[in-house]
Amino acid sequence: MKTLPDAAFSQGPIKVGQSISPEEAMDYCFDIARHGVGKVSPNPLVGCVIVDAEHRFISAGYHGRYGEAHAEQEAMNSVDKSKLKNATVYVSLEPCAHHGHTPPCAVKLAELPLKEVIYAIADPNPKVNGKGAEILRLAGIKCRLLEGYEDKAWEQNAFFFMRQEKEKSLVVGLKVGMTLDAKIANPGDERRWITNSRSRQLSHYLRLVYDAICIGARTVVADNPSLNPRETSFGDRMPWRVVLDPTLVALKERPLEGLNLLRAEPEKVIWLTARENRDSKLVEKLSSLGVCVRFLEVDKSMQFSAVQIVDAVEDFPIYSMMIEGGSSLYHCFLESGLLDRLHVFMSVGKLYGTGGLPLYPGFSEINLEPRRLSSYEIDKDMFFDIIL
Ligand SMILES: NC(=O)c1ccc[n+]([C@@H]2O[C@H](COP(=O)([O-])OP(=O)(O)OC[C@H]3O[C@@H](n4cnc5c(N)ncnc54)[C@H](OP(=O)(O)O)[C@@H]3O)[C@@H](O)[C@H]2O)c1
């Protein structure tokens, strides 16, 4: 069992002048990198720490927003330049070597009188991989990986690495809260939470990690969710919200004025509905609020395929999307082969039996073939983070 991914920062702030070990410096890089959660996508989270020749902390920085300064630049901006001779730079990802919104960090670091640059993992981007390290070596600065950090670095930026490894622009995850017998709701008793408050806190953090959250129309009707990240200390940016509503049942059963998911930033809501609804007054009303309505072909059972859903979402600046249920939507994506990650919260003491709504209401056997599995105990719940 491991510490939860959103546990409080593992160490307090480090003071200027404080002596720190290489591991403390690197751990701090990971800690501060998380200030960029929800703000840097599709870029990775990155933290940087600079120590002087005696290994005393002199500065730190993190990538805080897409298009803005990288972690190394932030750390360099706030450093006392007189202390840089023979200093060491720690960074949670290999310094970049290419021109993007900002100049290459490796080139900027190479101009400093540093002794060494130590990073946690190589950048898989072919424009960078090994090239950042090469620029530094050519400038006479030692450059190496810190052993033992590769897994942590991969996990912190799983979406970034998965997109490169799988050569896809959108990573799709599925989050579920379920009982020991894999039931996601107990009809007639729908207001009750399945998992405990700490599990829910982590699931709110996940809403911050993903660019978009996708739900089915019946979940809108049953739960009227807000889909905003709450109870997390990492910020409150609204994710994109994607609603599957081919027959407009959500709008018919829930007056638009009372829909919680439209309360904040309705222009970041995508409503997927059937072409037949083009002239609907409800759609007109929805569009007038700024909601992005997209019309898709439906099959004989009034359903879209997972591929159609992903294609529609890829028109927007969305690089990661979390499927949040309910049962029909889980079914659609579990059978699609398009899932990259599962976040399973399980209340191990509860079983709903045959009356409960199943996670997977399908008939065919599915083999997801997990590549990585992490498990955590959260009070009396279990949490499984499964990379496919
Ligand atoms: N425990 C959890 O983690 C969790 C999470 C979310 C929801 N839930 C529970 O799940 C229940 C709702 O589940 P549900 O299965 O009844 O409904 P659902 O999946 O939320 O919504 C089903 C409806 O969404 C639309 N939809 C879903 N997949 C679609 C697709 N591939 N193409 C087109 N439309 C699609 C369809 O709308 P039409 O009806 O218009 O065809 C379908 O009837 C609620 O009780 C909710 O509380 C539990």
Check residue 319 and give its pLDDT.
Answer: 96
* Cβ-contact 364, 329 below 8 angstroms: no
The arithmetic mean of pLDDT across residues 252-279, rounded, is: 95
Q: Which helix (H) or strand (E) holds 137?
A: helix 131-138
Ligand 1 center to 372 CA (angstroms): 28
**Percent share of the chain, pLDDT over 70:** 95
Q: What is the pLDDT of residue 351?
A: 95
Tell whether the model's pLDDT for residue 248 goes beyond 60.
Answer: yes
Q: Does the CB atom of residue 247 touch ligand 1 within 6 A?
A: yes
Question: pLDDT tens digits, residue range 41-61?
Answer: 999 999 999 999 999 999 999
Q: From 36, 331, 371, 37, select the one nearest 174 (Cα to Cα).
A: 331
CA of 144 to the centre of ligand 1 (A): 49
14 near 20, Cβ under 8 Å? yes
Q: How far is the CA of 63 from the centre of ligand 1 (A)?
A: 37
Dump pLDDT digits (tens) for 1-45: 454 554 444 556 788 999 999 999 999 999 999 999 999 999 999
Which of 24, 54, 72, 253 is flagged as catalytic? 72
Instruction: Tell me what pLDDT residue 131 has.
Output: 86
Query: b/e per residue, 110-148, with b = 16+ CB within 10 A?
Result: bebebbbbbbbbbbbbeebeebbbebbeebebebeebee
**Cβ contacts of 211 within 8 Å, gap of 6 or more:** 41, 239, 240, 317, 318, 319, 320, 321
Give residue 128's pLDDT band: very low, low, confident or very high (50, 70, 90).
confident
Candidates 199, 247, 328: which one to mutate for ligand 1, based on the most atoms within 8 Å of Cβ?
A: 328
What is the CB neighbour count within 10 angstroms for residue 175?
A: 20
- Regarding the beta carbon of 132 and ligand 1, being less than 6 Å apart is answered no
Is 90 exceeded by the pLDDT of residue 101?
no
Mutate to test the pocket of ligand 1, among 283, 327, 333, 334 (most ligand atoms within 8 A of CB): 327
- Could you tell me the pLDDT band of residue 191, with boundaries at 50, 70 and 90? low
Task: Supply the pLDDT for residue 4.
Answer: 54
Higher-confidence residue of 235 and 66: namely: 66
User: How far, in Å, CA of 61 to CA of 78, rounded?
Assistant: 8
Which atom, in ligand 1's list, is nearest to the CA of 187?
45
Nearest CA to ligand 1 atom 13: 326
The pTM of this model reads 0.91
Percent of the chain with pLDDT over 90: 79
Structure tokens of 93? Answer: 């990802």
pLDDT attached to residue 12: 64
Q: Is the CB of 302 under 6 A from ligand 1?
A: yes
Ligand 1 touching residue 312 (CB < 6 A): no
Ligand 1, atom 7, lies closest to the CA of: 326
What Cα–Cα distance (Å) separates residue 257 from each residue in 61, 138, 184, 241, 282?
Answer: 43, 62, 28, 17, 12
Rounded to the nearest integer, the mean pLDDT of the chain is: 91
Pairing of strands 372-378, 381-387: antiparallel
Cα 268 to Cα 290: distance, rounded to the nearest angstrom: 8
pLDDT in tens, 278-327: 999 999 999 999 999 999 999 999 999 999 999 999 999 999 999 999 99
Tokens of 174: 């599925």
Residue 130: what pLDDT?
A: 81
Q: 98 or 378, which is more confident? A: 378
pLDDT of residue 90: 97
Distance 292 CA to ligand 1 centre (A): 20
Instruction: Indicate if 72 belongs to the active site.
Output: yes
